[in-house]
Amino acid sequence: MSLKFGTDGIRGPVESVVTPDACLRIGHATGLAMKELGWDTVVIGKDTRVSGYMLEAALQAGFIAAGVNVRLLGPIPTPGVAYLTKTLRNKFGVVISASHNDFLDNGIKIFNEDGEKISRDIEKRIEKHLAGDLSSVETSAIGKAYRFDESGPRYIEFCKSTVPSEISFSSLRIVLDCANGACYKVSPEVFEELGAEIIKIGTEPDGYNINQECGSTHPEIVSKAVIDHRADFGVSLDGDGDRVILVDEKGNILDGDDLLYILAFANPNRTGAWSGVVGTKMSNLGLEDGLKKLGYKFVRSDVGDKYVSEMLSKKGWMLGGETSGHIICRDLVSTGDGTIAALKVISSLLLLEKKPSEVLANFKKIPQVNTAIKVKNKDIVNDKDLQSLIKEIESDITVGRVLVRPSGTEPKIRIMIEAPEIKVAKKYAADIEKLIESKS
């Protein structure tokens, strides 16, 4: 098949890309790759999309046909699968989710034994098997499937364990938006068991409403609720729970750059593994400047939490993330975890006895415009006229940075422009959008 791994696994429409047949083959191909590496058991989790049960059945059939045993975790956040892959001593963990996309899409993400996204070498090994024929091992060697009913409780206890014992949330009122996704049950229990009063949003999934006008792509919903309920914080998670956007007591929306700065500011140890922070090409230039003033080194990876994680491993550092809200605290977790990132930011602020605005007053973002345009062919980013326009914009001394790139998860071209004046950034972003539209 022509299925290929992108920035965050394999993702696309259920009706045409991530079909039952595709998942059967992905399970089989991944199982064959596992067997070649001497591994024989995999855990599978999923979010709340209506297609989840259908694709789970196909995926597990493929693994079993390859002779691999399967542990079915049920609905659980993506970072929960990463955690259980590691703690259950499995070599592979698979998540059925399309993250922040709507219910029409679904996808496959794969973790290794350390709870990290698999390497490109293993992806290539799986893609090679995808090109082959589908068959089954002999009947005596086929795998078995088991339901693991303790996935939710285990993940809840792990999340709670990341909060220092001297910290209590009992004085806090928190608006929590779970995007009608994988966190709908576990995350409210985490915050409530830590003592917080919770106002819930997006905790009634029906298979179709995941990320629908809620969650981290719509933080304005929580912002309004924080004001209406006079809450201390707002927490917006995405459909699979691996990223988060926070809201302060005044309704101000805090993106991943803000959260990284708060965590870095609160950290008293800025040497060794804590001497640097990893961002991405999308990270605001103001974040880079602010972190350097705090005494940190700062490097940018390609966009995608997988690449942030790889850069953290390369540098031996503990903290990194994306503007979109993927925050990786490697002292606690191996991948982006929205719930744990929120817990750590809130705990850090409680220890500092400061409001978010007091900490964030120490750094200033450069005005940044982020937009995306749907396209039929993402190769348009290589168009000569578009490249010429980008160079022309970059030559303007009033412009800081320009980034035009294909989305790794959707049929879109993403545009980011930074400039000292927001009107300049908006003008040039509109020019790029107009050119792309004329070429589509």
Angle at 240 between CA 235 and CA 245, to 5 degrees: 25
What average pLDDT does range 133-155 have in this prediction? 95
**CATH code, 21:** 3.40.120.10
pLDDT classification of 397: cutoffs 50, 70, 90: low
Of the candidates 318, 341, 360, which is a domain's last residue?
360
What average pLDDT does range 418-425 have in this prediction? 90
- The answer to whether residue 5 sits within a structural domain is no
CA distance 73 to 424: 49
CA distance 59 to 45: 11
373 lies in the same domain as 344: no
pLDDT tens digit sequence for 333-380: 999 999 999 999 999 999 999 999 999 998 999 999 999 999 988 889
99 carries an active-site annotation: yes
pLDDT at 396: 81
| pTM flag (> 0.85) | yes
**301 DSSP β-pair partners:** 280
93 lies in the same domain as 219: no
312 lies in the same domain as 197: yes
Rounded percentage of the chain residues whose pLDDT exceeds 70: 99
383 lies in the same domain as 410: yes
Please identify which of the residues 51, 97, 99, 223 carries the catalytic annotation: 99
- The answer to whether residue 3 sits within a structural domain is no
83 lies in the same domain as 141: yes
Q: Per the structure block, which two tokens stand in for 322?
A: 């994306």
164 lies in the same domain as 295: yes
The average confidence (pLDDT) of the chain is 94
- Helix ranges restricted to H, 244-401: 256-266, 285-293, 305-315, 338-352, 356-360, 384-394
pLDDT at 6: 82
159 lies in the same domain as 140: no
pLDDT tens digit sequence for 161-178: 999 999 999 999 999 999
Please say whether the dihedral angle defined by the alpha carbons of residues 328, 418, 408 and 388, taken in this order, is positive or negative: negative
Q: Would you call 202 helix, strand, or coil by DSSP?
A: coil
User: Which range marks the domain in which residue 121 is found?
Assistant: 10-149
pLDDT tens digit sequence for 269-315: 899 999 999 999 999 999 999 999 999 999 999 998 889 999 999 99
Task: Answer whether residue 201 shows pLDDT above 90.
Answer: yes
Q: Per the structure block, which two tokens stand in for 27?
A: 């399970």
**CATH code, 383:** 3.30.310.50
CA distance 83 to 167: 23
350 lies in the same domain as 401: no
Task: Answer whether residue 1 shows pLDDT above 60.
Answer: no
- The answer to whether residue 208 sits within a structural domain is yes
295 lies in the same domain as 230: yes
pLDDT tens digit sequence for 230-281: 999 999 999 999 999 999 999 999 999 999 999 999 999 899 999 999 999 9
pLDDT classification of 440: cutoffs 50, 70, 90: confident
Q: Would you call 369 helix, strand, or coil by DSSP?
A: strand
Return the closest-CA partner of residue 361 out of 293, 270, 297, 418: 293
What average pLDDT does range 130-149 have in this prediction? 94
Q: Per the structure block, which two tokens stand in for 161?
A: 């364990």
Residue 238 counted as an annotated binding residue: yes
Number of CB atoms found within 10 A of residue 7's CB: 16
Q: Per the structure block, which two tokens stand in for 398?
A: 């009033």
159 lies in the same domain as 143: no
Residues 6+ apart with CB under 8 A from 15: 104
- The answer to whether residue 4 sits within a structural domain is no
CA distance 370 to 278: 20
- The answer to whether residue 194 sits within a structural domain is yes
pLDDT at 202: 98
pLDDT at 91: 86
339 lies in the same domain as 246: yes
Task: Answer whether residue 18 shows pLDDT above 80.
Answer: yes
245 lies in the same domain as 350: yes
